[in-house]
Amino acid sequence: MIFREVEDRDLIERSRRGDVDAFNVLVSRWEKRVFTYLVRNTGNREDALDLTQDAFLKAYRGLGSLTDVERFPQWLFRIAHNEAISMHRKNRLPVAEGEDLEAADAEVSGPARSLGNRVETTLMVEQALASLPLEQREAVTLKVYQGFKFDEIAAIVDCPVSTAKSRVYAGLEALKQKLAPARDEGREAHAQRSS
């Protein structure tokens, strides 16, 4: 059987029986998303790499505790969330370091980096995102970049669904306010080119 045709739930069951290769396939399917989430959470690529590795190691060791294999993504992101929170507490990291956002952009954006305006816009968005309070940044990242539903976000960050919603909306509103000057500047430049 070709691994691409295998469902996550089958890989989880095989991993629970000790099939390391099956777990490696799960890692390859999910590592980019977890890494991207952690880069946005920590603002540091190296920390995100370490946390990604730690999260998958804990996931492998804890597969027996996963009760609903259909909720594997939420469970995995909950582990990643907990790892990031532990690092923030341990290191007392500033919540909005954003020191390595250009490297994160290179990792995440791929071909879009070659387009000057897109790169600049992406960096502005990433910097604005990094300046949000951790809880809002995390909620926006899970919703916008990872595509989780509000109830899934609530499960990952261990809060009520209404709190997850308010964090997402507050974060998006804050981003809108932070990016408004750049948006207005872009509109003016476009209007000048059009006339």
Residue ranges of domains in the chain? 3-194
Report d(CA 57, CA 51) in Å as an integer.
10
pLDDT at 74: 94
Question: Rounded to 10 degrees, what is the CA torsion of 112, 115, 116, 117?
Answer: -80
Cβ pair 171, 139 in contact under 8 A:
yes
The residue count for the chain: 195
Q: Which residues does the chain have with pLDDT short of 50?
A: 1-3, 93-115
Say how many CA atoms lie within 13 Å of 65 toward its Cβ: 8
Q: Are 130 and 97 in contact (CB under 8 A)?
A: yes
Residue 96 per-residue DSSP state: T
Task: Provide the CA 93 distance to its chain's centre, in angstroms.
Answer: 18
Which H or E run includes 87?
Answer: helix 72-91
Q: Which CATH class is domain 3-194?
A: mainly alpha
| Phi, psi for 161 (deg, rounded to 5) | -60, -40
User: Which pLDDT does position 195 carry in this prediction?
Assistant: 60
CA distance 60 to 21: 12
For residue 159, what pLDDT is reported?
Answer: 95
What pLDDT is recorded for position 185? 65
Count of alpha carbons within 13 Å of 144, Cβ hemisphere only? 16
pTM over 0.85: no
The number of beta carbons lying within 10 Å of the beta carbon of residue 20 is 9
- Residue 170 CA to residue 187 CA, distance in Å, equals 25
CA distance 23 to 8: 9
Residue type for position 175:
L
